[in-house]
């Protein structure tokens, strides 16, 4: 069937859309009458699951109160959301720049870092994704960048995480960033951009000492550290922000998106430390968006954060880590010849599978027949799970039964 709009990241004839009609909790329904179990939070954003009544009411109530705004406006919910975001950031964070999602959070973090530092170069990793817009995609290092190059000038990629390749697991982590900073001339580098925990490129968890080493290299040269928490933030890894797993590593900027509204509104944010924010007291912040802090998105953000707090869902995600890990180890025990490694942090996991391309396609098709939504990433050889933070333990068990059957089918 052909539709009068584009599907993203695919040749149109290969698109495999789901005709989604609603849902409740960890489940969503499609037009063909199927009920899907969401073990992926759609694309990592639906952390409160489907059909959340509090979210719907908050957005409706906001629409009744105030549905239109403009960038220079002040209204109570905008203030409250900024205060709440800063309350969950490390001490010293003092300002929020609102965006419409994760990609433009990256774009505006680039601008803020360049304007504040007066420098232009940016360092990021090959194993990364920071968004689809031109600046953000230039920072990313995966297959999504080369087709749209040339990108932003001044971006330098490093091959950190190579040491995590199979067979080198015991190797001492050593970032290329300190030496690349020296080679590039550190006084030309505005910022290093990192996902605290690598998301779409394979759920890679930094080894002890890694983020500390990068932070120290940035400090040594007055380079800003931007932590991309678009995917890892708001409880996905069992903390408000992923970098909190490495106490002492405090970024200068934090980019947010996705679960900031649990997917119920189009919102992102850049959280800015006072040491950077103060520059803009006198310097013009050359950045802005018509829909900056749109009331409906802000209402969704405020309610989502309030629900995470009141229902202690960040703690819940941390508590369910053991259960998620056990399920994945069950998969490894059942398929020892293909499951290479499980990485788990909170309710986020990456499982490396030794599958041929054809087997990945069979696995994907079998998962669809099982009506279970997960993230299958053949480009890095990884199956990723990121269930909603509200998922029940029995639902996790059911998800694993479906994944087991699908992998069995793919290997048959
Ligand atoms: N940063 C990371 C780590 C992401 O995973 C994503 C999206 O997947 C983005 C940025 C871009 O966010 P968005 O798609 O909301 O623009």
How is residue 287 written in tokens? 């950045």
What pLDDT sits at residue 155? 98
Q: What is the dihedral of CA 359, 364, 365, 370, to 10 degrees?
A: 120
- With contact defined as beta carbons under 8 Å apart, do 59 and 296 qualify? yes
Give the residue whose CA is nearest to atom 7 of ligand 1: 131
Which atom number of ligand 1 is nearest to the Cα of residue 200? 5
What pLDDT sits at residue 167? 41
CA dihedral for 313, 265, 303, 229, sign (positive or negative)? positive
Identify the residue whose tokens are 């971006």: 155
Terminal CA-to-CA distance of the chain, rounded, Å?
Answer: 30
- With contact defined as beta carbons under 8 Å apart, do 142 and 128 qualify? yes
Give the residue whose CA is nearest to atom 12 of ligand 1: 102
The CA distances from residue 331 to 305, 346, 390, 402, in Å, are 33, 18, 23, 11
- The span from the CA of 137 to the CA of 390, in Å, is 32
What pLDDT sits at residue 161? 76
List b or e across 15-40, with b for residues whose CB sees 16 or more CB atoms inside 10 angstroms: eeebeeeebebbbbbbeeeeebbbbb
What is the strand order of the sheet 189-195 is part of? Answer: 93-99, 268-273, 253-256, 224-228, 189-195, 121-125, 155-158
Ligand 1 mean position, distance from CA 334 (Å): 33
Residues in the chain, pLDDT under 50 = 165-167
Answer whether 328 contacts ligand 1 (Cβ < 6 A). Answer: no
What pLDDT sits at residue 165? 47
Ligand 1 mean position, distance from CA 15 (Å): 20
Stretch (H or E) spanning 65: helix 53-65
Answer whether 142 contacts ligand 1 (Cβ < 6 A). Answer: no
List b or e across 377-386, with b for residues whose CB sees 16 or more CB atoms inside 10 angstroms: bbebbbbbbb
Answer whether 127 contacts ligand 1 (Cβ < 6 A). Answer: no
- With contact defined as beta carbons under 8 Å apart, do 311 and 116 qualify? no
Q: How far is CA 219 from the centre of its chain?
A: 25
Ligand 1 mean position, distance from CA 411 (Å): 32
Query: What tens digit of pLDDT does each residue of 202-255 get?
Result: 999 998 899 999 999 999 999 999 999 999 999 999 999 999 999 999 999 999
Report the residue among 45, 128, 230, 386 best suited for mutation to probe ligand 1: largest number of ligand atoms under 8 A from its CB: 230
Report the residue among 231, 251, 350 best suited for mutation to probe ligand 1: largest number of ligand atoms under 8 A from its CB: 231
Give the residue whose CA is nearest to atom 13 of ligand 1: 102
What's the pTM value of the predicted model, to 2 decimals? 0.97
Which atom number of ligand 1 is nearest to the Cα of residue 103? 16
């Amino acid at each position: 069937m052909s539709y009068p709009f584009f599907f993203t990241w695919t040749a149109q004839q290969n698109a495999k859309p789901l005709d989604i009609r609603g849902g409740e909790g960890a489940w969503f329904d499609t037009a063909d009458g199927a009920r899907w179990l969401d073990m992926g939070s759609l694309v990592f954003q639906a952390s409160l699951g489907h059909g959340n009544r509090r979210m719907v009411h908050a957005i409706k109530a906001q629409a009744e109160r105030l549905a239109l705004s403009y960038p220079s406006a002040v209204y109570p919910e905008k203030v409250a959301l900024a205060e709440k975001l800063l309350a969950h950031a490390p001490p010293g964070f003092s300002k929020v720049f609102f965006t419409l999602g994760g990609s433009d959070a990256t774009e505006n973090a680039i601008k803020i870092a360049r304007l504040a530092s007066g420098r232009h170069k940016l360092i990021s990793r090959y194993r990364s994704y920071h968004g689809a817009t031109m600046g953000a995609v230039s920072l990313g290092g995966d297959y999504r960048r080369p087709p749209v190059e040339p990108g932003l000038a001044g971006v330098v990629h490093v091959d950190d995480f190579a040491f995590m390749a199979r067979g080198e697991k015991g190797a001492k982590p050593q970032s290329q960033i300190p030496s690349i900073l020296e080679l590039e001339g550190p006084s030309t580098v505005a910022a290093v951009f990192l996902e605290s925990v690598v998301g779409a490129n394979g759920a890679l968890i930094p080894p002890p000492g890694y983020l500390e080493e990068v932070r120290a290299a940035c400090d040594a040269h007055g380079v800003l550290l931007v932590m991309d928490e678009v995917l890892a933030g708001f409880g996905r890894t069992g903390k408000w922000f992923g970098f909190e797993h490495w106490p002492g590593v405090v970024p200068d900027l934090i980019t947010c998106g996705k679960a900031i509204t649990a997917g119920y509104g189009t919102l992102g944010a850049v959280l800015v430390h006072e040491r950077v924010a103060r520059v803009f007291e006198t310097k013009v912040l050359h950045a802005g968006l018509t829909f900056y802090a749109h009331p409906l998105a802000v209402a969704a953000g405020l309610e989502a954060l309030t629900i995470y707090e009141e229902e202690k869902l960040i703690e819940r995600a941390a508590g369910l880590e053991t259960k998620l890990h056990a399920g994945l180890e069950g998969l490894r025990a059942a398929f020892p010849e293909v499951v290479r490694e499980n990485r788990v942090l909170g309710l986020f996991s990456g499982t490396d599978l030794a599958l041929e391309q054809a087997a990945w396609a069979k696995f994907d098709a079998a998962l669809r027949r099982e009506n279970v939504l997960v993230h299958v990433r053949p480009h890095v050889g990884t199956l990723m799970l990121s269930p909603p933070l509200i998922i029940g333990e029995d639902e996790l068990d059911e998800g694993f039964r479906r994944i087991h059957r699908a992998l069995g089918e793919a290997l048959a």
